[in-house]
Amino acid sequence: MSKSAKPVRIGLISGSTREGSINKQLVRAVSLIFKDMGAKPVKISLKDYQMPIYDGDWEAKNGVPPTVKKLIRRIKSCDGVFISTPEYNGSLPALLKNTIDWTTRVELGHFKGPIYGIGAASPGPMAGIMAMRELQFILTRLGANVIPTQVGAGNAGQAFDKKGRLVEGFSKNQAQHMASQMLTQIKQKR
Ligand SMILES: Cc1cc2nc3c(=O)[nH]c(=O)nc-3n(C[C@H](O)[C@H](O)[C@H](O)COP(=O)(O)O)c2cc1C
């Protein structure tokens, strides 16, 4: 099969692994949009890639946890990656930052290969804009090509319908723009 005939793989990561997480809900809703557009969603649950809080002494003694290399391989198998982050005190949750930090101890190829998209879900009206801004900064600093359109789902309690799709409105429009821009860029790269 030629590369262009292969299905486009989109990795989907939630920065919260919590049962009932609204960011997991957003990731799922965005995965349905990608599916509607013909791409193959690839679920990447950070629960499957547990790693300790980064500590240089721990790394010197134990090396890089195998979960870090496994996660990098999984991300590199994707053409695009969508990350939805919770906002904790105006910033990224430790889980997401720690995961990013650990992977940079191995290589940066997983940031430079896939095209990245960013989103955030929040129970409040501001949709995690500070966390998205910060995630965009970090990913860009690591060499990632990040789609500028961000998917903020504020007032997340009202953002999804019974089937888990985003309801009509701003967040859904943003998600569709982000997804179509990402797929266009992936096709141009192939
Ligand atoms: C430590 C902590 C700090 C938080 N800070 C913010 C914040 O700065 N902005 C915000 O919109 N929500 C904040 N929240 C609320 C989260 O948006 C809310 O708990 C959300 O449900 C977390 O995402 P999840 O449902 O995907 O786990 C905070 C929650 C916690 C636990």
Would you say residue 57 has pLDDT above 90?
yes
pTM: 0.97
Q: How does residue 143 score in pLDDT terms, banded at 50, 70 and 90?
A: very high
Class of domain 11-189: alpha beta
CA distances (Å), origin 148, targets 12, 44, 74, 136 = 17, 22, 24, 9
Would you say residue 55 has pLDDT above 80?
yes
- Residue 188: what pLDDT? 94
- Residue 3: what pLDDT? 61
What beta strand segments (E) does 27-164 contain?
40-44, 80-84, 115-121, 145-146, 151-153
Would you say residue 41 has pLDDT above 70?
yes
Can you tell me the distance from the alpha carbon of 41 to that of 75, in angstroms, rounded to the nearest whole number?
A: 12
Per the prediction, the chain carries an average pLDDT of 96
Dihedrals phi, psi of 93, to nearest 5 degrees: -70, 150
Domain range list for the chain: 11-189
C-alpha neighbours within 13 Å on the C-beta side of residue 183:
19
Residues in the chain: 190
Would you say residue 168 has pLDDT above 80?
yes
Quick one: what percent of the chain has pLDDT higher than 90?
A: 96
Closest alpha carbon to 144 in 120, 118, 181: 118
CA of 97 to the centre of ligand 1 (A): 15
Q: What pLDDT, in 10s, does the model give residues 73-115?
A: 999 999 999 999 999 999 999 999 999 999 999 999 999 999 9
CA of 96 to the centre of ligand 1 (A): 13
The one-character DSSP state at 84 is E
CA of 14 to the centre of ligand 1 (A): 13
Q: How does residue 4 score in pLDDT terms, banded at 50, 70 and 90?
A: low
Q: Tell me which residue has its CA closest to atom 20 in ligand 1.
A: 122
Can you tell me the distance from the alpha carbon of 168 to that of 13, in angstroms, rounded to the nearest whole number?
A: 23
- Residue 1: what pLDDT? 58
Residues with CB under 6 A from ligand 1: 16, 18, 21-23, 86-90, 122-124, 126, 128
CA of 21 to the centre of ligand 1 (A): 10
- Residue 5: what pLDDT? 76
Mean pLDDT on 110-131:
97
Pocket test for ligand 1, best of 88, 89, 155 (most atoms within 8 A of CB): 88
